[in-house]
Structures are given as C-alpha cells and as structure tokens.
Structure 1
Amino acid sequence: MTMGQSYPHILLVCQSVQGHLNPSFQLANNLISAGARVTLATTVSGFHKLKSLPPIHGLSFASFTDGHDDDNHAIWNPGYAYDIERFASESIGTLVKTLSENGNKVNLLVYTLYLPFAADVARDLNVPSALFLIQSATCFSIYNRFCNRGDGIVAVNNDINTSVTLKLPGLPMFKWNDLPTFVLPTYPRFSDMCYVYQDHMNVLEEDSNACVLVNTLDGLEPDSMKSIKNSIVVGPLVSSTFSDNKGSCFEWLDSKQENSVVYVSFGSLAVLTKTQKVELLHGLMKTQRPFLLVLRDVGEVDEDVEIKQLKEKVSEYGLIVGWCAQLEVLKHSAIGCFVTHCGWNSTLESLAAGVAIVGCPQFSDQTTNAKMVEEVWGNGVRAFLDEEMVVKRDEIKRCLDVVMDGGERAKDIKKNVEKWRKVAEESVKDGGSLQTNLKLFLKNIS
C-alpha cells in the first residue's frame, strides 16, 4: 500500500474442521501479503485451533456460535446446516458490528463452503461478500448442475438413482461413483447438503457482483472456472506445518533412496475400517517397497490385536506414525508416490510437491478429485473399491506398480506430475498469479 491508502479489513469466516481452517489461514496470510488486514473467525467449539496458529502481523482471530459451543463434532449431526444458519447468522452479524464499533470496519466478508447464509448477513449490513471455494471448481460446477433452482437435477428429479450421469464442458462423463457423495441420495445428510448448496447457488444468482475465490491452479480446471461467474484463481494455497514439530519420520526418510518411498495418509477426517486397514497393510507388504504410513490410531491402548500384529509384521518395510508434516514429507526426495483419500488440500499439496497419486477416495469431493487425477490431469491412478467400499490388497499393489514400476504409463504420469509442479511453482512465486490476482481483487474493495 502507498502512503495515504488504508488497508482494507476482511472478515473471513469458516468451519473449524482442519480441511477448512488450513486453506482459510493460507488465504488470510496471502491477503495480508497483498495489502489487507484480516480477521479469521471460526466456531466457538473450534476456536482453540486458531490459537495454535503462528502470529502474523495484520491477522487477528475471532469466533461465532453455531449453537453447539461444547460439541466439536456437531457438524456431523443431522440438521446441523439449519442450526448453524440460525445461530451463526446473528453471531456473525454481531461480530461485524462489534469490529466496526472498535474501529475495525469490515470492508469485505469472505465465507467458505457450508456458510452461504453469511452472504445474507453481509448484504443486510451493506457489506460486500465473496465465496471462498475450498474444493475444486469442478466440484462446484457439479453442485451447481445438481442444485441450481432453475434446472438443477435435484430440483427437477426426485428419483436420482445409480444410473445418473453428468456431462460437463471439456470433461469426461461423470457416473454415480464419480460424483461428490453430498449430491447423492444415499449420503446420510443428503437433504442438509442439498439445502446448503441450493442456498449457495441462490446467493450467486441473485447478486450479479458476487465474487468467487477458488483455491486451484491456473489452467488446471479451465472449463469449470469459466462456468463460475466472477471467479478468481487464488491457489494453490498450501504451506508448511504450523508447528515446529515436524514429526519423527525425517531421519528415516533421509536413509531411503530417491523416489523409493510410498507415503500413505487419509487426512484428518477419514476413518478406516478394520477391513480396510488389514487390506492396506497386506497390500503394502506385497509391494515390498519402503513406506511411510500415517494412522491416527497409533498408540491406542485398546488397539485391535490383529491390526497390532500386522503393524509389527510390516515394520521391516516401513514406518507407521500417528502424524507428520505432510507437505514437508511430500517434498522429500525419497517420496515416490502418495496413497491418499484425494481430499482437495492433499490433492493440491501433491500437485505442488510434484508427487504422483494413488487415489483411494471415501466420501465428499474425494471421488471427483480421484477421477480428475486419473482421467484429466494424468498425475496418478484411481484405485478400484469393491462392493463394500474397500480397496483390496491386490488392487493397492496394482496401483503402486503402475505408478512406480517405470513403465510407459509411469513415465506419462511422471511427465504430468512435473508439468503441474511447475505450474504451481510459477503461481506462488513473487509476481505469480496468486499474488497478482489477490492484489487486483483488493483494489476493488473500498
């Protein structure tokens, strides 16, 4: 900012699950670098997570109530979408007013997925708003196709079944198991999620000036970006861990050959069944490749006996930990492949780090991301799930052989991996598209 210019103040509100907080924190950090002040707010129950973030000049924290201040897991309750709208609408409105009364007028309210009502709060207070997409542009295009109030599939068809298909411009056909699970009637909170996404679409349809900030890469989703009005690329929003504790695995990784290690992690929300753990451990053993496996149940006193014995058996091949600094791990020269649930943050981190993916999606947007990885971006393969939604040991071995055996397909994947790594590198450097786009965006904020 030049002398005489004020720093616009942005209130950024998000859910408290890690997959929402991480990109929101990174957006806040980049907005500050581009010349803004930011207040990052999340639910009261998740506010302790903000306190663990590193201090940044120009960044402050706040909270709002979702009506479940003492319940960290309320987001999974049936009807939560209605609860948070009812309680958080008033709470966020009060926060905007309080900030203003304290000399911190809010110039823009940015809200993430699942908080569409925040746009109504902003409008009632004469504050402009913008949606921050923490999932892919492709997924949002699918949500729009299903949930827009005009010709949305949900709006005109009450009998969606497994035969449903969807064709979007420039992309292959999406079948039932390629679509985000949130838009499928088999998902337990289908009605809640449809309500949320229909609200998002209504907001964007009613406000011709509504802006959408998309955490993606330049050129990664060109057709989907075109389908989102007033969309701006603000990614990839990836960063190092917030903690000085990087985990205990790096000395072990340093002892391994370049591109030899299989890194396996299924994110902060996915819960693996015993059957899936057994198949995963057997599959990793069958490959006889060194692996680093993140399992959040490490150290549990009541750990299943069979799983415990299997872990001991596979220890000659790999290392099992309860947590690690993922981006730092992905950037380590020993890593040759990432077996992942294909959550959007993990997908972007693998693209930025230049690591091939074996996608084992479970729910939400993961199914769509895994399809794009294999069929569109070409930076990995998608594992086949059986009728019990389990990736069998032979399938795990097959996918790892495809990606790491040095054959023609492995070479094509490696070529695409390197292409997207360079795109990501160009995007985040000084003067890159991320910095440039955010500076242009801030110019339009009064």
Structure 2
Amino acid sequence: MGTTSSQDFSTLNQPNIINYHKVILFPLPFQGHMNSMLQLAQILHSQGFSVTVLHIRYNPPRPSDHPGFDFHPVDVPSPVAELEAVEGDTMALISLLNVTCVVPFRESLENLMGESSDGGDHVACLITDICWHFTQAIADEVGIPRMVLRTTSIGSISAFSAVSRLQKNGLLPLPESQIEEVIPEVAPLRWKDLPIVPTRNPKDFFRLLADIDRATKACAGLISNSFEELEEVKLAESRRSIPIPFFLIGPFHKRFPSSSTPVAGKLLQDQSCIAWLDKQSPKSTIYVSFGSIASIDERDFLEIVRGLANSGVPFLWVVRPGSVRGHEWLVTLPPGLLEGKGHIVKWAPQREVLAHPSVGAFWTHNGWNSTTEAICEGVPMLSSPMFGDQRVNARHVSDVWRVGIHLEGLLGRDEIANGIGRLMGDSSSSKEREEMMKRVMDLKMKVDGCLKPGGSSYKSLQKLTCYLFSSCQPEKL
C-alpha cells in the first residue's frame, strides 16, 4: 500500500522540523508487540524521523534486519534464568520487567538525551509499548514527551477498564453459572470474554492494569494499529475516558509490501506451504494458526486433528515447537489420519498465506495482528481465543463485525468439523458464508480506503507527524 512519503512535510508548515528529528522506541519483548513497534518505526522513518530502538536482551530484535535504525540494548539485571522461570506467565514477566528495567532504562535514556544535547538529532518523543508503565515517570524526570503504542484493539480498552471496575466491586471471579451472560456496560461481551490473563498471582494482574491505566492517562498520546472505520464507536468511548490525543494509523502492515514488512521472532517461515497452497483449488483451504505464545494440551491437539480430518476440508496448519504442552513438536498421530488432507509447518509467512487465492478461511486465536491481517485480505475467521484481548477480538469478529464464527471455547471434534463446514459454506450454510464474505470484503475495502490520501489513517498519520515535529504539544494539532 502507498506510504506517506517524507516529501509530504512541505504541506505541513512545521517550524521545528530541523530541531526535532529523532524518536526513541521501546518495544515489549513479545513477537506480536515487537513486530508492531518495528512496523511503527518504519512508518515514522518514512516520514523523515531518525529512529533509535531501546530493547532488552530478552527476545531481542535483529538489528541486521533493520539497517536504518540505531539499536541500543538495555542491560536488565535480572538473570536470564529468572526471566525464563516466569516465561509461561506473561503477566508475571511483564510485572517483573517493569521493576527490573527502571534503573538501566533511565541510564540508557539519559545517555541518548545527552548525545542529543551534544549536537545530535534532537529527540521529539519517547514511544513505548503501553505495558511499559514505569517509563512515564522517567520520561517526566528527563523532560521528554512519552507516547504509547497500543498493539491491541481499541475495543479492548473499555474491556480492560471493566475488568478493573468489576474486581474493585468484588464481582470477580464470577460463578461458572453466569459466564455466558452479556455484561451490559460492555455489550456484546459476555463475562467469559473479559480480557483476564491467567497468572500465578491475580493481584499482580489487577495491579498491572491499574499502573498501565494511570501511566496512559498521563502520557502525551496513544498510537493504535487500528483504523477508525473498524472501531468508530469504541474510539469515541475511549476518547471520553482517556483525554489524550489518539492516532489510529493502522493497519501498519498494509503500508509495506509483504516481502519487506518488519518482523521479529525466532521462528523461521516455512515457504514450502506456498507451493502446497498453489496446488489447492480456489477458496478451498482453511489456514490454522494460534499465534506465537499460546499452547494447548495433548487432548485438545488430538481433538483438533480429528476435527480437521472429519471436516474433509484441506488445511494448512501451523504447529510451532512448544505449542503442545509436554511435547517438543508434534504428538504421535494414528497412521494415515491426516495423510493427504493437509500440510503442517512450524511457522508460516502469514500475510502471504492469507492473501493466497486457495485460502478460504482462517482458524485463529484472534490476536490483534492476526485479526486485522485476515480482515485486510477479506478472509472470514473461525475463532478460538485463548486469553486476554483475544477474547474481546473474537466476540467482535462474530457479534459486531459478523465476519466469523466463534467456537465458544469448544474444542471437540464435532464442534470443530461443524464450525469449519459453516465457515467454508457447505451445503447447509452456503448463504451464511455468502453473507460473511460480503461483510468481510466490505471491511477490506474500508481498509484500502483508509490508507489512501484523504482516508482516516492517512490523515491521522499526518496529524501524528505534525504532533511529533511540534514536540507533542496538543495545541499544535
């Protein structure tokens, strides 16, 4: 898709272009978060900013993949063993890093600010992942504006706020008998859709939410990998509850050719799946991937296997190492069960897969990157959210945008086969698929329009550029 070039600044009349030229970015060390931050870095670089990326050494980016950026590691004192000990507990890891990163991050930021005052590019802004709440106090100390990148949906803002309010009112955890009920204040979300992340210490989770909310309300602005036409109602709600500038400039990945999208992560993409897809009929295949973090037990894995087999639909399935608990990779399968029915890889070039003409549906965990990538390619979804904001996204896919089917937590072989049949438009559900396809193609057209000159994301990026070059002063907008 077309990217706003740095030449567009000639129309912006910004007097401080020479003085404020650098942005410092600090991503969270998880693949989805890292990818979004690196994509944002590339977008800002295309707008004329120099980019410095501060990062911890845990799950670091590969600087060689991004020669236009400066990378500076933040030396966290926590031993790698300590970090790995909580690796399976995302909330515990984020809470730990928000404590152990304080001193080394302050030192790194002060050093970069010192280089700026000694004749280097002046720093316009610090942009951190929204989960790095401790950075707001440090930005205030050193006198630099801080903005946050929200890598999840705008709709999840009200959902996380609801979690905090309900917990304070003593309504969590909820009895199992009520989890299917709709919560009026965040309808159509049900109680089971609340973005609660399993953790060994639930108090730390609620404390983390409160810290993130407090730091976000104190920051200079929020950047989102979404677009206004997709979340117009939720955007209006969020602007009322968080009185800071919002910049919806997504979908980020659509600003780059597929081959040049900035990515991070340890897993290598298996290109063999593209050759396999080339042999399938148009819209005949379901693509299955549950992201880079979630894991399932062996029982669920075998139910997925039998559900896929019983559906009779060709499938491309990503089973990354560690995605089945207790197994290095694949579980031993009954002979011949999947033979000739599909193709299994450890990781796939997802954007290319979703854009492939043989792919007719996507079975997903509904992480935000995966959800928007499916919408951008006009691919309907089968939803199996695992935790957190994935549940919010899945409910919007099925009940708000109506471009997919929610499995409602059921991973039985019959439910899986039935869901795939409905999504792919078998004889009993061809009209249902036809209507879903019409809606998802309408959203795809809105994506294409929002990034063109005059579109909502195009204009929002122009406003963000002005905002940064004016050193994040709202009155300059």
TM-score (norm 2): 0.82
Residues 443 and 263 of structure 1: CA distance in aligned 2, closer, same or farther (over 3 Å):
same
Does structure 2 retain, via aligned residues, the 8 Å contact 1:278–1:310?
no
Partner residue, 1:267: 291
Deviations 1:256-311 (A, max 9, x none): 111001100111111121111111111111111111111114999x9699933347
2: CA distance, partners of 1:342 / 1:329: 16
2: CA distance, partners of 1:198 / 1:4: 36
Among candidates 403, 408, 419, match of residue 423 of structure 2: 403
Instruction: Tell me the amino acid that sits aligned with residue 208 of structure 2.
Output: V
2: CA distance, partners of 1:70 / 1:159: 34
Residues 339 and 311 of structure 1: CA distance in aligned 2, closer, same or farther (over 3 Å):
farther
1: CA distance, partners of 2:369 / 2:79: 26
Residues 285 and 75 of structure 1: CA distance in aligned 2, closer, same or farther (over 3 Å):
closer
Instruction: Tell me the amino acid that sits aligned with residue 231 of structure 1.
Output: F
Partner residue, 1:96: 109
| SS of residue paired to 1:249 | helix
Among candidates 226, 238, 241, match of residue 228 of structure 1: 238
Residues 121 and 374 of structure 1: CA distance in aligned 2, closer, same or farther (over 3 Å):
same
Partner residue, 2:215: 203
Residues 335 and 81 of structure 1: CA distance in aligned 2, closer, same or farther (over 3 Å):
closer
Instruction: Tell me the amino acid that sits aligned with residue 8 of structure 1.
Output: H
Deviations 1:116-161 (A, max 9, x none): 11111111111111111111111111112333xxxx2223326541
| SS of residue paired to 2:51 | strand
More relative contact order, 1 or 2 (CA 8 Å, 6+ apart): 2
Query: Does residue 1:127 correspond to 2:127, yes or no?
Result: no
Does structure 2 retain, via aligned residues, the 8 Å contact 1:384–1:395?
no
Does structure 2 retain, via aligned residues, the 8 Å contact 1:36–1:442?
no
Query: Does residue 1:392 correspond to 2:405, yes or no?
Result: no
2: CA distance, partners of 1:92 / 1:299: 32
Structure 1 segment 353-432 matched on structure 2, within 5 A: 353-386=377-410, 391-405=411-425, 407-429=430-452, 432=455
1: CA distance, partners of 2:365 / 2:449: 26
1: CA distance, partners of 2:329 / 2:163: 44
Structure 1 segment 274-293 matched on structure 2, within 5 A: 274-293=298-317
Q: Which structure 1 residue ranges, 5 or more long, are not aligned?
A: none
Among candidates 55, 58, 66, match of residue 45 of structure 1: 58
Does structure 2 retain, via aligned residues, the 8 Å contact 1:30–1:435?
no
| SS of residue paired to 1:338 | strand
2: CA distance, partners of 1:303 / 1:269: 15
| SS of residue paired to 1:251 | helix
CA shift, 1:64, in A, is: 2.0
Structure 1 segment 243-322 matched on structure 2, within 5 A: 247-297=271-321, 307-310=331-334, 312-322=336-346
Among candidates 353, 360, 382, match of residue 336 of structure 1: 360
Among candidates 121, 125, 132, match of residue 108 of structure 1: 125
Partner residue, 1:62: 72
Residues 297 and 137 of structure 1: CA distance in aligned 2, closer, same or farther (over 3 Å):
same
1: CA distance, partners of 2:340 / 2:322: 17
Percent identity over the alignment is: 25
1: CA distance, partners of 2:334 / 2:445: 39
Does structure 2 retain, via aligned residues, the 8 Å contact 1:282–1:393?
yes
Q: Which moved more, 1:306-315 or 1:101-110?
A: 306-315
Partner residue, 1:181: 196
| SS of residue paired to 1:289 | coil
CA shift, 1:12, in A, is: 1.3
Does structure 1 retain, via aligned residues, the 8 Å contact 2:159–2:392?
no
| SS of residue paired to 2:123 | coil
Deviations 1:330-369 (A, max 9, x none): 0000000001111111111111111110001111211111
1: CA distance, partners of 2:16 / 2:288: 51
Q: Which moved more, 1:231-240 or 1:25-34?
A: 231-240
Q: Which moved more, 1:409-418 or 1:196-205?
A: 196-205
Residues 360 and 196 of structure 1: CA distance in aligned 2, closer, same or farther (over 3 Å):
same
1: CA distance, partners of 2:352 / 2:299: 30
Instruction: Tell me the amino acid that sits aligned with residue 363 of structure 1.
Output: F
1: CA distance, partners of 2:446 / 2:32: 23
CA shift, 1:53, in A, is: 2.9
CA shift, 1:190, in A, is: 2.6
CA shift, 1:81, in A, is: 4.2
2: CA distance, partners of 1:158 / 1:176: 11
Residues 193 and 66 of structure 1: CA distance in aligned 2, closer, same or farther (over 3 Å):
farther
Q: Which moved more, 1:366-375 or 1:153-162?
A: 153-162
Q: Which structure 2 residue ranges, 5 or more long, are not aligned?
A: 1-8, 240-244, 472-477
Does structure 2 retain, via aligned residues, the 8 Å contact 1:65–1:87?
no
Instruction: Tell me the amino acid that sits aligned with residue 395 of structure 1.
Output: E
Q: Which moved more, 1:152-161 or 1:281-290?
A: 152-161
| SS of residue paired to 2:126 | strand
Does structure 1 retain, via aligned residues, the 8 Å contact 2:224–2:249?
yes
Residues 33 and 195 of structure 1: CA distance in aligned 2, closer, same or farther (over 3 Å):
same
Instruction: Tell me the amino acid that sits aligned with residue 437 of structure 1.
Output: S
CA shift, 1:60, in A, is: 1.9
2: CA distance, partners of 1:167 / 1:19: 31
Residues 46 and 104 of structure 1: CA distance in aligned 2, closer, same or farther (over 3 Å):
farther
| SS of residue paired to 1:308 | coil
2: CA distance, partners of 1:201 / 1:93: 21
Q: RMSD of the TM alignment (CA)?
A: 2.8
CA shift, 1:65, in A, is: 3.8
Does structure 1 retain, via aligned residues, the 8 Å contact 2:133–2:216?
no
| SS of residue paired to 1:181 | coil
Q: Which moved more, 1:414-423 or 1:158-167?
A: 158-167
CA shift, 1:5, in A, is: 2.8
CA shift, 1:41, in A, is: 2.4
| SS of residue paired to 2:33 | helix
2: CA distance, partners of 1:319 / 1:17: 27
Residues 310 and 110 of structure 1: CA distance in aligned 2, closer, same or farther (over 3 Å):
farther
Among candidates 175, 184, 187, match of residue 172 of structure 1: 187
Partner residue, 1:433: 456
Residues 375 and 313 of structure 1: CA distance in aligned 2, closer, same or farther (over 3 Å):
same
